Amino acid sequence: LGESFQVSGEQYGRLESNVTLACNNSEIRLPVSWHLSHSTVLPWHQVTPNGSLVLLHANHSAQGTYSCYDNSGRFLRSIKLRLGHPPGRLTISCQVPNHTHVRCSWVETVKTFLPAEYNASFSNGKEWSPCIVDVTQKHCDVVHPAFWQPIHTLRITETNALGSKNTTASVKLHELLKPDPPESVLVKELEGYPKKLLISWRFPSSWPQHDAFPLIFHIRYRPQGSMFWSEIYSLDNSIVIWDALAGHLHQVQVRTRDEINAESQWSEWSPLLFGRPWEDYITPEPDVEPEDIFTLPTKSKPEASTPKSRGSKHGDEGNLGLVILLVLFSVVILTTIFSLIFVVWMRQRRRDHATKQELTSMVKMKSIPI
């Protein structure tokens, strides 16, 4: 069956259904002819005996302005046809950035292709109050909800030319409470402290500046390139890191949560910031020429050698002494080795000489006649 609804020159029909357009004039002289946007080519259709146009299984290509003419070519009527679907259920999500504001948004589960109106209301279990709708952004806002109530109900009605649909959702404000990230986060060095960093921040601008709504802050930091974060918690809006890695750039982030409500959520992390601890830069000064020491008082004051240059001189003298000591030690070792080799060689030579003498004596004794 065809499903359509007519509103002041416009007619709405359901996609993939049969849609009937009536010429609807008492002076019609049959037969009539239909045209789509000044074209004689029509979608799959049929014309009834009373001159109505029936579009069969109408799809998006069937949309447009239809004109009806009698058999003499006289214009009778035009109808603008729009096709779509009736509303379906909505997917609802709510954000609670503080104790005084709730914002709920929705997404269509059915693409209707038709303009829609939305009506939203919020209940604390006892009474309904309006949820102020922003149609273009598809969200609504509740101001000063009854936060002490454990469960609230949100009801949203979507309406278009083909029907309406109610969607309800349960809302637990305590569990959805999620502050915005801390703002104006800064990372500064502390002069004279190569292992310290000062981190400061401000409360989220959307959070009430009142002692009744305290926040706890979670700070994490690490040297750039490290895989592991160091973490610390604070109730203040600044903190000093004592164990920064000297001479290295550090990454820092901060997030926050309601201190009292343990069921609430942590905010998103603040944008990644970078900071480096204080470093002591010593600028080397030029060496002093000997003749500059005995200049007249009217000339510029001579510059003394820096501790760094004197330290370098002493270091060079120490290195020279070490080299000399190593050379002497090597000479002693080599002399000892050569002496041992010479002694072993002399002993071996004496043994060989004694052996030869014994052999000679034995030969002589055997040659004497008995």
Domains in the chain: boundaries: 6-84, 90-175, 183-275
- Span between the terminal Cα atoms of the chain, in Å: 155
Same fold, 6-84 and 183-275: yes
- Identify the CATH assignment for 183-275 out of 2.40.50.100, 3.30.450.20, 2.60.40.10, 2.40.30.10: 2.60.40.10
Distance of CA 63 to the CA centre of its chain: 44
Give the pLDDT confidence score for residue 304 in this predicted structure. 40
Beta-bridge partner residues of 47: 53
Is residue 254 a contact partner of residue 187, using CB atoms and an 8 Å limit?
A: no
Which is nearest to 59 in space by CA: 108, 100, 13? 13
Exposure on the CB side of residue 126, measured as CA atoms within 13 A: 5
Kind and range of the H or E element at 38? none
Per-residue pLDDT of the chain (370 residues; tens, 9 = 90+): 445 555 448 899 999 999 999 887 555 557 788 888 866 677 888 888 888 889 999 999 888 898 888 888 888 888 999 999 999 999 999 999 999 999 999 999 999 999 999 999 999 888 899 999 999 999 999 999 988 888 999 999 999 999 999 999 999 999 999 999 999 999 999 999 999 999 999 999 999 887 788 999 999 999 999 999 999 999 999 999 999 999 999 999 999 999 999 999 999 999 999 999 999 876 666 655 545 444 444 444 444 434 444 444 445 555 777 888 888 888 888 888 988 888 888 888 777 776 666 656 555 555 555 4
Is residue 42 a contact partner of residue 12, using CB atoms and an 8 Å limit?
A: no
What would the DSSP string read from start to end of 166-207?
Answer: EEEEEE-HHHHB-PPPPEEEEEEEETTEEEEEEEEEE--TTS
Q: CA-to-CA distance for 104 and 141, rounded, in angstroms?
A: 7
CA distances from 130 to 29, 141, 206, 335 (A): 54, 9, 22, 105
- Rounded to the nearest 10°, the torsion over CA 57, 60, 61, 64 is 110
Mean pLDDT of the chain: 84
Is residue 242 a contact partner of residue 199, using CB atoms and an 8 Å limit?
A: no
Give the pLDDT confidence score for residue 106 in this predicted structure. 96
Q: CA-to-CA distance for 314 and 165, rounded, in angstroms?
A: 90
Residue 125 DSSP SS3:
coil
pLDDT in tens, 308-333: 444 444 455 557 778 888 888 888 88
90-175 domain in CATH 2.70.40.10? Answer: no
pLDDT in tens, 180-203: 999 999 999 999 999 999 999 999
Fold of 6-84: Immunoglobulin-like (2.60.40)
Residue 364 DSSP SS3:
helix
